[in-house]
Amino acid sequence: MNYLIPGLLLLFSCVFGYADQRNQPNLKVTKSSPQTLAATTTSTSADELTNAPAEKVNDPFERINRSTFRLNDSLTIHVAKPVARTYEHLVPHKVRTAVSNFFYNLDFPVRFANDVLQGRIKRSGQEVSMFIINTTAGIAGFIRVSDHVPTLVDVPPEDFGLTLARWGFSPGPYMVVPVLGPSTIRDSVGLGGDFALNPLNWYQLGVFAHNYIPTWANYTLGGARVISGLPGGVRTYEQMKETAIDPYIAVRNAYLSHRAAQLQK
Amino acid sequence: MTFPFPLPRVLRLRHRLPHADTPTRPYADRPNARRSVRAAFAAFTAFSLAIQLAQAATSEDPLTMLRRGTDEVLAIAYSGQSPASLPDRLRPLLQKDFAFDLVTRQAIGPGWRQFTPSERQQVTDLFTRLLLRIYSARVVGTQRPNINYGKPVTLAPDRCEISTQVTIPNTDKPYSVVYRAIKLPEGWRIYDVLIEGVSFVANYRAQFDEVVQRGGAPAVIQALKAKLAQPINPNS
């Protein structure tokens, strides 16, 4: 995914994952028709909801995390936000969407590799179809033509953090990474894994002997990728911050539950 | 014309209706009785109507409730009026479909039992005001969203959740909003909303836990008042 360049990680201030199913009993659901639902009425359910014990959060480094969180907060407000505002001011909305689509399409190899590593044959096929359709009909990925194909509308993106989770690794302590934002030990390792899975980085990693992409182009691409992700990330973070009683806990809870939800898909 | 013998008293029409030519209203001689009959009839009609309405509200299944509620809210949010008064205009609609007292109780958690009745009332009022403001700021955008509703999925005998996909035209991917509903005596009511897997109630619960442990109800009330003193900007 977009973690390649540190700036994008500000994006993470708002969203991205976690995985501790023990804390999410409500996610285990059974299907049944709405008619059977309507048949019974009890008030005990409301009491159960209220008296449920608080979720335990693995956050032994809370003190350090809180100060890193403050650092990221001021970086978001004083650096990321002005850049995002300028970008929004200069570039029309439709072009910004197209640029985001382009970078999403560019990350196809990472998502595909993670699908394969998790043994998700169907989803990897969907990713391949999306990539082919959007690269050709969607002009190098600027237009998400695949959204008009019903089977390709909702293909959850996989990353190496989720792959590690499905391989059985526990998330480990929650941590706030400077610049990048909320993460866990496992997801931080996942970032490194995703970096290694992206062919664009294989020259730096010594896999390719020849640099197929000029260095200046690589840096331009990286900068554009970071900037294209900023407006959404900054907005999500600000929305969370202004509605929260304690923004640190609100972001931590949001990151961990979003990650848990991704793992369920 | 006279009859050869006196008619039985019941048949003596002239006797019963002294002014047979002019039609007489029933109970003309007893105006109070007429009024009470009319009142009884009105009361009966109102009563049966109320029962029917109550039954309609109770028997409304969760999906119908959610669709109706969302349509009503979007109609008001995108009516072009000033967003400043939106929380007040949405309040009656949302209070009909959301179990705000249950939402508040869940957000506070087991510490709720130590709150006095007046503290409970105050916390519920403040938190409801905060929720209305957040909801109003988030529901308004530049373009009216399209919503796809999934099928209700059972969580418990009296609880279910409905997944929806919200698409805002000309933006990136659709995002997922899940509503959780509980069957209360008055009908199905929403008690939690999950956006992209993040539960609204659990998120506030995590934040309030520490506040409740630190200072109980007074600390919660103080934190809510401080939050309400700050503005919440609508989506741009």
Per residue in B16-27, pLDDT (tens digit) is: 555 555 556 666
> Percent of chain B beyond pLDDT 90?
27
| Chain A residue numbers touching B109 (CB-CB < 8 A) | 50-52, 54
B199-220: average pLDDT? 91
Structure tokens at B39: 């009142």
Q: Region B200-209: what's the mean pLDDT? A: 92
Which residues of A fall within a CB distance of 8 Å from B182? 45-46, 49
Residues from chain B that touch A52, judged by Cβ atoms under 8 A, are: 109
pLDDT at B233 over 90: no
Model pLDDT for residues A132-191, shown as the tens digit of each residue: 999 999 899 899 888 888 888 888 899 999 999 999 999 999 999 999 999 999 999 999
Statement: residue B164 has pLDDT above 60: yes
Cα dihedral sign, B218-B223-B226-B232: negative
User: CB contact, 8 Å: A83 with chain B?
Assistant: no
* pLDDT, tens only, A243-263: 899 999 999 999 999 999 999
Bigger pLDDT: A172 or B85? A172
pLDDT on residue B163 = 92
Question: Residue A36 has what pLDDT?
Answer: 36
Does B219 touch chain A if contact means CB atoms closer than 8 Å? no
Stretch B219-232: mean pLDDT, rounded?
89
Q: What's the number of domains chain A is made of?
A: 1
Q: Does the structure show a pLDDT above 60 at A233?
A: yes
Using the predicted structure, report yes or no on whether residue B49 has a pLDDT greater than 80: no
Confidence band (pLDDT; 50, 70, 90) for A214?
confident
In the prediction, which pLDDT does A150 show?
A: 84
Q: In chain B, what residues touch A253 (CB-CB under 8 Å)?
A: 198, 202-203, 206-207
What was the pLDDT predicted at B155?
Answer: 87
DSSP H or E stretch at residue B170: none
d(CA B220, CA B130): 13
Q: How far apart are CA A51 and CA A28, in angstroms?
A: 19
Quote the pLDDT of residue A18: 33
The set of residues, in sequence order, having a beta carbon less than 8 Å from that of A228 and lying 6+ positions away, is A87, A96, A99, A100, A103
Smallest Cα distance from B109 to chain A, Å: 5
CA-based nearest distance B44→chain A, Å: 28
Asked if A209 has any chain B CB less than 8 Å from its own CB, the reply is: no
- Which residues does chain A have within 8 Å of residue B110's beta carbon, measured at their own beta carbons? 50-51, 53
Average pLDDT of span B160-172: 83
Q: What whole-number distance in Å separates Cα of residue A259 and Cα of residue B196?
A: 9
Instruction: Identify which of B93, B190, B85 has the alpha carbon closest to the alpha carbon of residue B140.
Output: B85
Determine the pLDDT at residue B13.
Answer: 58
Nearest residue of chain B to residue A43 (CA atoms):
B184
Task: Indicate the average pLDDT of chain A.
Answer: 82
- What is the predicted pLDDT for the residue at B77? 83
Contact between chains at A46 and B102 (C-beta distance less than 8 A): yes
| A245 closest CB neighbour out of B59, B196, B211 | B211
Residue B192 has pLDDT above 50, yes or no: yes
Residue range B205-233: mean pLDDT, rounded = 89
Q: Is A145 on the interface with B (CB under 8 A)?
A: no
Q: Which of A34, A93, A253 sits opposite B152 (nearest CB)?
A: A34
What ranges in chain B are assigned the alpha helix state H?
A: 13-16, 31-59, 62-77, 86-97, 100-108, 117-139, 200-229
* Cβ-defined contact of B206 to A34 (cutoff 8 Å): no
Is the predicted pLDDT of residue A91 greater than 60, yes or no? yes
Per-residue pLDDT, A35: 36
For B149-163, the pLDDT digits (tens) are: 988 898 888 889 999
Q: If pLDDT is split at 50, 70 and 90, which confidence band does A112 have?
A: very high
pLDDT computed for residue A16 by the predictor? 36
Angstrom distances, CA of residue A192 to CA of A158, A166, A179: 14, 17, 15
* pLDDT score for B5: 67
* Best mean pLDDT range from A120-124, B32-36, B107-111: A120-124
Instruction: Quote the domain boundaries for residue A116.
Output: 4-263
Q: What 3-state class would DSSP assign to A89?
A: helix
Task: Return the pLDDT at A11.
Answer: 36
Across chain A, the runs of DSSP E, i.e. the strands, are 174-177, 181-184
Site from A29, A50, A258 to mutate, B interface, most B CB atoms within 10 angstroms: A50
Does the distance separating the beta carbons of A42 and B158 come in below 8 Å?
A: yes
